[in-house]
Amino acid sequence: MCGIVGYVGDRQAAEFLLDGLSKLEYRGYDSAGIAVYENGKIRIEKSVGRLAALREQIKGRMPVGSLGIGHTRWATHGRPSDVNAHPHADCHGDFAVVHNGIIENYLSLKEDLIAKGHEFKSETDTEVVAHLLEEVYAGDFVAAVREVLRRIEGSYALAFMSKEHPDMLICTKQDNPLIIGLGEGENFIASDIPAIISRTRRTYILGDGELAVVRKDGIQVTDRAGQLVTKKVFEVTWNAEAAEKGGYEHFMLKEIHEQPKAVRDTMSQRITNDKKAISFEELAWNADYLNSFNKIYIVACGTAYHAGLVGKYYIEKLARVLVEVDVASEFRYRDPIVDGSTLLIVVSQSGETSDTLAALKESKRRGAKTLAITNVVGSSIAREADQVVYTWAGPEIAVASTKAYTTQLVLFFMLALYMAEIKGAILPARTAELVTQLQEIPSQVSEILSDVEPIKTFAKQYGFNEDVFYIGRGLDYSVSLEGALKLKEISYIHAEAYAAGELKHGTLALIVEGVPVIALATQRNVYEKTLSNIKEVKARDAVVIGIAAEGDTELQKYVDHVIYVPATDEFIMPILSVIPLQLLSYYAAITRGCDVDKPRNLAKSVTVE
Active site residues: 2, 604
At closest approach, how far in Å is the CB of 528 from ligand F6R?
32
- Three-class DSSP category at 8: strand
Q: Which is nearer to ligand F6R, 125 or 489 (CB)?
A: 489
Determine the angle formed by the axes of helices 453-462 and 573-591, rounding to 10 degrees.
50
Under rule CB under 6 A, which residues in 276-305 are in contact with ligand F6R?
301-304
Q: How far is the CB of 602 from ligand F6R (least distance, A)?
A: 8
**Nearest distance from C-beta of residue 330 to ligand F6R, angstroms:** 14
Q: Please, which residues bridge with residue 388 across strands?
A: 372
CB of 284 to ligand F6R, least distance (A): 26
Q: Is 356 in the site for ligand F6R (CB under 6 A)?
A: yes
CB of 603 to ligand F6R, least distance (A): 8
Note whether 395 binds ligand F6R by CB under 6 A.
no
Q: State how far the Cα of 2 lies from the Cα of 32, in Å rounded to an integer.
A: 10
Instruction: Give the shortest CB-217-to-ligand F6R separation in angstroms.
Output: 48
Beta carbon of residue 605, minimum distance to ligand F6R (angstroms, whole number): 6
Kindly state the DSSP code that residue 39 receives in the 8-state scheme.
T
Q: Is 236 or 594 the residue whose CB approaches ligand F6R more closely?
A: 594
Compare residues 416 and 481 and give the one whose CB is closer to ligand F6R. 481
Number of residues that bind ligand F6R (CB under 6 A): 15
User: Do residues 126 and 74 make contact, with C-beta atoms less than 8 angstroms apart?
Assistant: no
- C-alpha to C-alpha distance for 609 and 607, rounded to whole angstroms: 7
Burial class (CB in 10 A: 0-12, 13-18, 19+), 224: middle
- CB closer to ligand F6R out of 47 and 350: 350
Q: Is 353 in the site for ligand F6R (CB under 6 A)?
A: yes
* Position 411 contacts ligand F6R (CB under 6 A): no
Tell the smallest beta-carbon distance from residue 24 to ligand F6R (Å): 22
296 neighbors 323 (Cβ within 8 angstroms): yes
* Closer residue to ligand F6R, CB minimum distance, 68 or 378: 378
Quick check: 91 binds ligand F6R (CB under 6 A)?
Answer: no
The residue with its CB nearest to ligand F6R is: 302
Amino acid sitting at position 352: E
The piece of 8-16, 113-121, 272-280, 349-357 that touches ligand F6R (CB under 6 A) is: 349-357
* Interacting residue with ligand F6R among 76, 176, 401, 406 (CB under 6 A): 401
- Give the count of beta carbons closer than 10 Å to the beta carbon of residue 560: 15
Nearer to ligand F6R, 76 or 353 (CB): 353
Is 350 near ligand F6R (CB under 6 A)?
Answer: yes
CB of 224 to ligand F6R, least distance (A): 40
Beta strands at 88-89 and 234-235: parallel, antiparallel or unpaired: unpaired
Q: Give the residue with the Cβ less far from ligand F6R, 124 or 349.
A: 349
E strand or H helix at 327: strand 323-327
Q: Which of 127, 210, 489, 570 binds ligand F6R (CB under 6 A)?
A: 489
CA distances, 549 to each of 43, 524, 575 (Å): 56, 10, 12
348 sits near ligand F6R (criterion: CB under 6 A): yes
Interacting residues of 379 by C-beta distance below 8 A, sequence separation 6+ = 348, 350, 351, 352
Question: Residue 263 or 346: which CB sits closer to ligand F6R?
Answer: 346
Positive or negative: CA dihedral 97, 100, 105, 108: positive
**From the CA atom positions of the chain, what is the Rg in Å?**
25
Burial (CB count <10 Å: 0-12, 13-18, 19+), residue 46? buried
| Among the residue ranges 148-156, 224-232, 348-356, 471-479, the one whose residues contact ligand F6R (CB under 6 A) | 348-356
CB of 459 vs ligand F6R, minimal distance in Å = 18
Q: What is the closest distance, in whole angstroms, from the C-beta atom of residue 350 to ligand F6R in the complex?
A: 3
Residue 606 binds ligand F6R, judged by CB under 6 A: yes
Q: Which residues of 103-119 are buried (b: 16+ CB within 10 A; e: fewer)?
A: beebeebbeebeeeebe
Residues 266/375, Cβ–Cβ less than 8 Å: no
Instruction: Decide: 323 and 316 in contact? Cβ < 8 Å.
Output: yes
Stretch that binds ligand F6R, among 38-46, 55-63, 198-206, 342-350 (CB under 6 A): 342-350
Closest CB to ligand F6R among 212 and 588?
588
d(CA 59, CA 7): 20
In the complex with ligand F6R, which residue's Cβ is closer, 301 or 578?
301
**CB closer to ligand F6R, 67 vs 372:** 372
User: What is the C-alpha separation between 490 and 266, in angstroms, rounded?
Assistant: 26
What is the separation, in whole angstroms, between the first and last Cα of the chain?
30
Minimum CB separation of residue 26 from ligand F6R in Å reads 17
Rounded to 5 degrees, φ, ψ at 130 are: -65, -45
CA distances, 407 to each of 348, 381, 469 (Å): 11, 17, 25
368 contact partners, CB below 8 Å, separation of at least 6:
297, 338, 339, 340, 342, 343, 344
Relative to beta strand 234-235, strand 295-300 is unpaired
Q: Which is nearer to ligand F6R, 421 or 489 (CB)?
A: 489
Q: What is the DSSP letter of 175?
A: B
| Residue 547 near residue 520 (C-beta atoms within 8 A) | yes
159 touches 195 (CB < 8 A): no
Indicate whether 596 belongs to the interface with ligand F6R (CB under 6 A): no
Binding residues (CB under 6 A) for ligand F6R: these are: 301-304, 348-350, 353, 356, 400-401, 485, 489, 605-606
